[in-house]
Structure 1
Amino acid sequence: MTASHGIHTIDTAFQRDHFDAAYLLVEDGRGAFVDCGTSHAVPRLLDAAGQAGLGADAIDWLILTHVHLDHAGGAGALLQRLPNARLLVHPRGAPHMIDPARLIAGATAVYGEAEMARSYGDIVPVPAERVVVAGDGHRLSLAGRELLCIDTPGHARHHLCVWDAASRSWFTGDTFGLSYRELDSAQGAFIVPTSSPVQFDPEAMHVSIERLLAQGPEAMYLTHYGRVQDVARLGADLHVQIDAMTAIARACAGRADRHRALVAALGELYLERARMHGCRLDDAGVLRVLALDIELNAQGLACWLDRVNP
């Protein structure tokens, strides 16, 4: 766990190390989590709070960037351990936290019951009276430290990002893509958009990225994974890749082997960019790090294609 400006990065250990992060903000003896991973991560989050000198009763907020299970699956289980915390969530996400039945059914249909138990554990409802809905422009205070939430669709329609003026940083969830430390080079971080199913909207994602950059941030805190700087370069990279990904999708439309073609073409796109970036891993290593994301991005692009070309 690392800390800067009272911000602690917590590895939730979802899927593998350094893949899925939650964050703990500490201000004047009070705390807020941003995202929480799955229920399997609850002990890690509580331990992180303890290491930061906070008891469970000193946590005031659990802020969710969105309700995908790798970000929010453990919310109900975590709140059972945090007597004073409230849940802050996008208006579209709040109903799924209060009654997660549809989330559970949808994920189980994709992954199966055994994988759901292995990867996600118990998904516990959050009492409605503990849920605070955060529309665009919502502000909250953590012991006087103001946080601003804005609506950032593109990855999902129930996505928000959180601006922390104290650190001049955004907590971006999946809106500002994903960046794994294994792919860093002398040029800095390597970044890839995430179009995972089912609500990818490239035009909305372009707009959301520009909203984030307009604040002049010093850093972005990504769920996948960690703090990145040089955000203007990374934002430009995301814009280029979003357009390249949608062009790939259109080129694959109508093919009988559409999914296979999408996976192959996305892999080539990211390999080309990784080589340009000077990533230290060989091609097989890069594909190994990005394998799950390539699969999900292919699925997300297919959902988008089916929506725009019914």
Structure 2
Amino acid sequence: MKNKPVNLGHQISFFDVFDLGFENRTGTFVIHDEKLTIVETSASPSIPYLLDGLKQLEIDPADIQYIIVTHIHLDHAGGAGLLLKHCPNAKVVVHPRGYRHLVDPSRLIAGAKAVYKEDFEKFYDPIYPIPEERLMIKENGEVLELANRTLTFYDTPGHAKHHFSIHDSLSNGIFTGDTIGVYYQDIQEFDFFLPSTSPNQFDPDEMLRSLELIENLNVSRIYFGHFGMCQNPKEVYAEIRKWLPTFMETGESVFLQNKDKTIDELTPLISEKLYDRIHSYLSELNIPNNHKVYRILKMDIDICSMGLADYFIRKNKEQKR
């Protein structure tokens, strides 16, 4: 397997878990502490890669104490139930709004099937419920004391209402899940970040408020679920503030011309325009059309466009009330 763990410093390791079969898509962080902790599991098909990464780090899964999921979307938490079968002493730490969906994942499964249709089983199956006694909720501002560091949990909606970000006192870094975007490390010529506006709880105002909260923490590094560590937080904030209006303007312009269309009808129209704008930007920076980043980018733009379509349909309905 190619998921060789990388030492990020401050007793944190990171390795690829090949979410959806893609390299550099989703990763798992390991906090090396007497109270061994994992951040993000990805989906169940990623668990063999995760277990292999632990093996390479000479970690016995039975020694893991905490499995933290930033939010309950399946590419971050879908494999938690399966992983628990290998980690008899671990508890899963989850946002209070995500708790019930890990106990009973039926709505998560239905939502994912609606998005991924015939690809659902290949990408996400199986999804196991997690017993309540194996779950731990962390409210906004609460901490988890490990042996040599403190993890502080912050409610950070925008991408989803069931999302928190976790500040690590030892590295002065923060695990942000999808709240402040995706880091496309397939592009090595420069750092490239985009917001993640996937359905169905995307809220641009909340996203910017969460970004400001993280910015005010003055962190030194950001740990992205997609994908890896960035040690230039100011660039991340600037890029998300630049691209989020582009996403919104694109989605709104398509919606205003097609108000009678459904989400399924709007999504490809938004996706085409958004893809063209991002492709033009990357072309100006000499990223060739056959660059491997486009494999992930096209899929991401489709999902982000679905979230934009959902947002503008919801907003329009609210305005009519």
Shared fold, TM over 0.5: yes
Q: CA deviation at 1:199?
A: 0.8
| Alignment partner of 1:161 is 2:168 | no
Structure 1 residues 219-238: aligned runs within 5 Å: 219-238=221-240
Q: Given the alignment, which residue of 146, 149, 154 partners 1:145?
A: 149
Q: CA deviation at 1:45?
A: 2.0
Which runs of 5 or more residues in structure 1 are unaligned?
Answer: none
Residue number in structure 1 paired with 2:58 = 53
The whole-number CA distance in structure 1 between the counterparts of 2:115 and 2:251 is: 22
2:32 aligned partner, one-letter code: V
Matches for 1:170-181 after TM superposition, within 5 Å: 170-181=174-185
Which of 208, 217, 230 is equivalent to 1:215?
Answer: 217
Report if the CA contact (8 A) 2:25-2:296 is conserved: no
Partner Cα separation in structure 2 for residue 44 and residue 183 of structure 1: 23
User: Aligned ranges for residues 1-310 of structure 1 at < 5 Å?
Assistant: 1-4=5-8, 5-15=10-20, 16-28=22-34, 30-112=35-117, 114-185=118-189, 188-256=190-258, 258-275=266-283, 278=285, 281-285=287-291, 286-310=293-317
Distance, in Å, in 1 between the alignment partners of 2:254 and 2:110 is 29
* Higher alpha-carbon deviation: 116-125 or 246-255: 246-255
CA deviations over 1:33-86 (Å, ceiling 9, x no partner): 111011122222223223323212211100010000011111111111111111
Q: Are the counterparts in 1 of residues 28 and 41 from structure 2 also a CA contact under 8 Å?
A: yes
Contact 1:60 1:142 in 2 (8 A): no
Displacement after TM superposition at 1:138 (Å): 1.5
Secondary structure class of the residue paired with 2:310:
helix
d(CA) in 2 for partners of 1:263 and 1:117?
A: 24
Q: Which residue type is aligned with residue 170 of structure 2?
A: A
| Runs of at least 5 residues in structure 2 that lack an aligned partner in the other structure | 259-264
Q: CA deviation at 1:261?
A: 2.9
Compute the displacement of 1:284 (Å): 4.7
Checking the alignment, whether the CA contact within 8 Å between 1:267 and 1:287 is kept in structure 2 is: no
Instruction: State how far apart, in whole Å, the 1-side matches of 2:88 and 2:140 are.
Output: 27
**CA RMSD of superposed structures (Å):** 1.7
CA distance in structure 2 between the aligned counterparts of 1:168 and 1:294, rounded to whole angstroms: 31
Contact 2:95 2:164 in 1 (8 A): yes
The code of the aligned residue for 1:270 comes to: I
3-state DSSP class of the match of 2:193?
A: coil
Q: Aligned with 2:154: secondary structure?
A: strand
Q: 1:116 to 1:132 in 2, by over 3 A?
A: same
Aligned pairs, how many? 304
Amino acid aligned to 2:288: D
CA-to-aligned-CA distance 1:239-291 (integer Å, 9 cap, x gap): 12111211112211243463333112211332243345x3x531453543410
Give the TM-score normalised by the residue count of structure 2: 0.90
* Contact 2:24-2:186 within 8 A present in 1 as well: no
Cα distance, 1:134 vs structure 2: 1.1
Name the SS for the 2:145 alignment partner.
Answer: strand
Are the counterparts in 2 of residues 31 and 54 from structure 1 also a CA contact under 8 Å? no
Q: Secondary structure at the match of 2:192?
A: coil
Closer/same/farther in 2, CA of residues 246 and 220 from structure 1, 3 Å limit: same
CA distance in 1, matches of 2:283, 2:231: 20
Secondary structure of residue in 2 paired with 1:183: coil
| Aligned-partner residue type, residue 303 of structure 1 | D
Higher mean Cα deviation, 44-53 or 6-15? 44-53
When the two structures are superposed, what TM-score results if normalisation uses the length of structure 1?
A: 0.93
Q: Which stretch shows the higher mean deviation, 13-22 or 101-110?
A: 101-110
The percentage of aligned residue pairs carrying the same residue is 33
